[in-house]
C-alpha cells in the first residue's frame, strides 16, 4: 500500500511539474512573440523612414565646387545615412521614361536642375520636425528648393506611435498574466509540500536551507521553459521567412541575442520570485493554519 501511495505521489508530482513547465513555456512564448513583433515593427518603421528622400533642388548658378562641398558635408554628418547626386540630364532621362515622350524637344530646353537626394537616419526624422529640416537645408546658399513627402512622414510618425503604444500595453498585460499563471502553478506545487516544509522547520532547518531546493527546482523549470519557448519562436520565424523573406534580414544576430536573452532572464526571474514568496508564506504559517 505504501509503495502504491509513493508511486501515486511521484506521478502526481511529475504531472504538477510538467504543468508548471507547459504553462511557463506557453506564456513565455506569447511574450516573446509579442516582443519580436514590437522589436521588428521598430526596425521596419526605421527602414521606411530611412528610405524617404529629402530632394534638394540646387540653384542653376551654383558652382560644382560648392555643390560637391555641400554634398561632402552632408555625407560626413552623423544624421545622414547616404546622399545621391542627380544631374539635370539624369533627371530629364528619368522623367522622359515616366512620361513616355521627349518633353525637351517639345520645350526646346531642359527645365530641370541638378539635385541631391538626402536620406536621413531614422532617429533624426523622428526627433526633428520635417519643417525644421527643410528650413535648415534652405539656409544653404546652393539650395533652391527642398521636396519631400510631407503626408507620408506625418502618417508614419502618427501610426507608429499608436502601434507602439498598443503593443507596449499588450506586453504589460501579457507580463502580468505570465506572472499570475506562473505564480499560481508554483503555489499549487508548493502547497502540496506544505507539511514537508513545516516538518523541516520544526526539526530546526533554516529558512534558506528549506527554500533552496524549491528555488533550484523552479529555476530548472524556468530554464527548460525558456529554452522551449525560444526554440518555438525560432521555428516560427524560420517558417515565416518562406512567406516574408524580409524577416530574415530583420531577425539578425543582434535581434536574436536581445530577444532571447530577455526571454531567458524573464524565465528565470519570475519563477525565482514566485517560489521565494510562496515558500515564505508557508514558513510563516502555524501548524494549525496548514490545514486551511
- DSSP code at position 141: T
Which domains does the chain carry?
Answer: 2-47+156-291 (no CATH), 53-148 (3.30.70.3040)
Residue 242 has pLDDT above 50, yes or no: yes
Cβ neighbours of 50 (radius 10 Å): 17
Residue 1 has pLDDT above 50, yes or no: no
- For residue 164, the model assigns a pLDDT of 74
Residue 180 has pLDDT above 60, yes or no: yes
Q: How confident is the model at residue 248 (pLDDT cuts 50, 70, 90)?
A: low
Q: Angle CA(124)–CA(127)–CA(131) in degrees, nearest 5?
A: 85
Q: What is the mean pLDDT of residues 143-149?
A: 84
Q: What is the mean pLDDT of residues 257-279?
A: 84
DSSP H or E segment with residue 85: strand 80-86
Between 228 and 17, the more confident residue is: 228
- For residue 8, the model assigns a pLDDT of 46
Q: What is the mean pLDDT of residues 250-259?
A: 74
Using the Cα atoms of residue 7, residue 9, residue 12 and residue 18 in order, give the sign of their dihedral: negative
Largest CA distance in the chain: 107
Pairing of strands 143-147, 80-86: unpaired
DSSP H or E segment with residue 278: helix 253-284
Between 262 and 12, the more confident residue is: 262
Q: What is the mean pLDDT of residues 42-67?
A: 82
Q: At what angle do helices 207-240 and 194-202 cross, to 10 degrees?
A: 150
Residue 71 has pLDDT above 70, yes or no: yes
Distances (CA, A) of 149 to 46, 50, 67, 115, 155: 16, 13, 23, 16, 10
What is the C-alpha radius of gyration for the chain, rounded to an integer number of angstroms? Answer: 31
Q: Tens of pLDDT along 23-48?
A: 788 878 888 887 777 777 777 777 77
Cα distance between residue 213 and residue 2, in whole Å: 25
**160, 45 contact by CB (below 8 A):** yes
Q: How confident is the model at residue 11 (pLDDT cuts 50, 70, 90)?
A: low
Q: Tens of pLDDT along 94-134?
A: 766 666 666 556 665 556 677 888 888 887 777 677 788 88
| 44-53, 114-123, 257-266, range with the lowest pLDDT | 44-53
Q: What percent of the chain has pLDDT over 90?
A: 1
Q: Which range has the top average pLDDT, 31-35, 55-59, 98-102, 174-178?
A: 55-59
In the block, cell 521588428 appears at 40
Q: Which range has the top average pLDDT, 22-31, 35-44, 138-147, 278-287?
A: 138-147
DSSP H or E segment with residue 99: helix 88-99
Residue 93 has pLDDT above 80, yes or no: no
- For residue 266, the model assigns a pLDDT of 84
Statement: the pTM of the whole predicted model exceeds 0.75: no
Cα distance between residue 185 and residue 181, in whole Å: 6
Residue 77 phi, psi (nearest 5): -75, 140
Amino acid at each position: 500500500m505504501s509503495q502504491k501511495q509513493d508511486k501515486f505521489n511521484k506521478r502526481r508530482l511529475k504531472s504538477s511539474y510538467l504543468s508548471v513547465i507547459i504553462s511557463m513555456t506557453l506564456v513565455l512564448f506569447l511574450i516573446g512573440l509579442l516582443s519580436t513583433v514590437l522589436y521588428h515593427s521598430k526596425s521596419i518603421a526605421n527602414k521606411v523612414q530611412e528610405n524617404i528622400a529629402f530632394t534638394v533642388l540646387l540653384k542653376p548658378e551654383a558652382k560644382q565646387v560648392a555643390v560637391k562641398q555641400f554634398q561632402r558635408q552632408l555625407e560626413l554628418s552623423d544624421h545622414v545615412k547616404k546622399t545621391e547626386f542627380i544631374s539635370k540630364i539624369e533627371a530629364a532621362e528619368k522623367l522622359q521614361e515616366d512620361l513616355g515622350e521627349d518633353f525637351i524637344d517639345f520645350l526646346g530646353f531642359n527645365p530641370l536642375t541638378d539635385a541631391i537626394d538626402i536620406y536621413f537616419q531614422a532617429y533624426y526624422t523622428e526627433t526633428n520636425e520635417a519643417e525644421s529640416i527643410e528650413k535648415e537645408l534652405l539656409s544653404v546658399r546652393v539650395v533652391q528648393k527642398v521636396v519631400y513627402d510631407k503626408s507620408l512622414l506625418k502618417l508614419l510618425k502618427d501610426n507608429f506611435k499608436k502601434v507602439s503604444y498598443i503593443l507596449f500595453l499588450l506586453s504589460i498585460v501579457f507580463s502580468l498574466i505570465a506572472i499570475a499563471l506562473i505564480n499560481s502553478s508554483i503555489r499549487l506545487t508548493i502547497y502540496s509540500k506544505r507539511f514537508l516544509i513545516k516538518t523541516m522547520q520544526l526539526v530546526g532547518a533554516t529558512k534558506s536551507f528549506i527554500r533552496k531546493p524549491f528555488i533550484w527546482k523552479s529555476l530548472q523549470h524556468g530554464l527548460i521553459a525558456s529554452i522551449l519557448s525560444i526554440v518555438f519562436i525560432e521555428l516560427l520565424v524560420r517558417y515565416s521567412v518562406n512567406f516574408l523573406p524580409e524577416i530574415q534580414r530583420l531577425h539578425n544576430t543582434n535581434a536574436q541575442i536581445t530577444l532571447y536573452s530577455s526571454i531567458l532572464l524573464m524565465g528565470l526571474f519570475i519563477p525565482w520570485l514566485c517560489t521565494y514568496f510562496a515558500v515564505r508564506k508557508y514558513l510563516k504559517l502555524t501548524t494549525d493554519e496548514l490545514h486551511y
